[in-house]
Amino acid sequence: MDNAERTEYKRLRHILGTRHRRLRLCGASLLLTLAVLLAPVTVVATWVNSEVTDVDRYVQTVSPLARDPTVQNLVIDRVTDGLVENIDARKISDAIADTLADRDAPRFLVDAARSLDDELKGGLTTGVRFAVEKVVTSDAFAKAWDSINRGAHTVATNVLTGEGGGALEVKGDSITLNVGTVIEELQKQLIGVTLVEAEDIPGADESIVLVRNESLSEARDGARWLGVVGPWLPLAVVVLGGLGIWAAPSRRVALMVGGIGTGIMMCGLLVGLAVMRQIYLDAVTPVTQSQDAAAAVFDTLVRFLRQTILTVLLTALLTVIAGYLYGPGRGAAAVRSVAARSTETAGQALARTGLTTGAVGQWLRTNRPLTTGAVIGAGGLALFLWNYPTPASVALLLLLVVVVLVILGVLAAADEPATSEDATLLR
Same domain flag for 250 and 287:
yes
The larger pLDDT score, comparing residue 162 to residue 64, is at 64
Amino acid 108: pLDDT: 64
Residue 177 DSSP class = E
Split into its structural domains, the chain has a count of 3
Phi, psi of 175 (to 5 degrees): -105, 125
Same domain flag for 75 and 160:
yes
The larger pLDDT score, comparing residue 39 to residue 109, is at 39
Does 7 fall in a domain? Answer: no
Mean pLDDT, the chain, as a whole number?
76
The residue out of 265, 294, 325 marking a domain boundary is 325
- Least confident range from 86-90, 111-115, 195-199, 205-209: namely 195-199
- The answer, yes or no, to whether residue 257 has pLDDT greater than 50, is yes
Amino acid 394: pLDDT: 93
Same domain flag for 137 and 254:
no
Does 168 fall in a domain? Answer: yes
- The answer, yes or no, to whether residue 426 has pLDDT greater than 70, is no
Q: If you average pLDDT over residues 129-148, what whole number do you get? A: 80
- Distance, in Å, from the CA atom of 214 to the CA atom of 209, rounded to the nearest integer, reads 14
Same domain flag for 37 and 147:
no
Amino acid 231: pLDDT: 76
Same domain flag for 264 and 353:
no
Same domain flag for 131 and 146:
yes
- The answer, yes or no, to whether residue 11 has pLDDT greater than 70, is no
- Least confident range from 210-214, 216-220, 393-397: namely 210-214
The larger pLDDT score, comparing residue 396 to residue 228, is at 396
Amino acid 127: pLDDT: 75
The larger pLDDT score, comparing residue 171 to residue 315, is at 315
Does 117 fall in a domain? Answer: no
Instruction: With residue 168 as reference, give the H or E element that holds it.
Output: strand 168-171
Same domain flag for 75 and 178:
yes
Same domain flag for 74 and 165:
yes
Does 375 fall in a domain? Answer: yes
The residue out of 203, 220, 237 marking a domain boundary is 220
Amino acid 193: pLDDT: 47
Does 317 fall in a domain? Answer: yes
- The answer, yes or no, to whether residue 198 has pLDDT greater than 50, is no
Does 405 fall in a domain? Answer: yes
Share of the chain above pLDDT 90, in %: 20
Q: Which of 8-12, 84-88, 281-285, 326-330 has the highest mean pLDDT?
A: 326-330
Does 115 fall in a domain? Answer: no
CA gyration radius, the chain: 34
Q: For the segment 284-318, what is each residue's pLDDT rounded down to a tens digit?
A: 765 555 677 778 888 888 899 999 999 999 999 99
Give all strands (DSSP E) within 237-385, no chain letters: none
Same domain flag for 244 and 280:
yes
Cα 275 from chain centroid?
17
Same domain flag for 387 and 251:
no
User: What burial letters (b/e) apply to 342-374, b meaning 16+ CB within 10 Å?
Assistant: ebbebbbbbbbeeebbeeebebbbeeeeebbee
Same domain flag for 205 and 232:
no
Same domain flag for 307 and 414:
no
- The answer, yes or no, to whether residue 216 has pLDDT greater than 60, is no
Amino acid 62: pLDDT: 82
**Which residues touch 78 (CB under 8 Å, ≥6 apart)?**
179, 202, 206, 208
Domain, as residue range, for 193: 63-87+126-220
The residue out of 309, 325, 341 marking a domain boundary is 325
- Which whole-number Å values give the CA distances from 415 to 355, 360, 427, in the listed order? 9, 7, 20
Does 254 fall in a domain? Answer: yes
Report pTM: 0.75
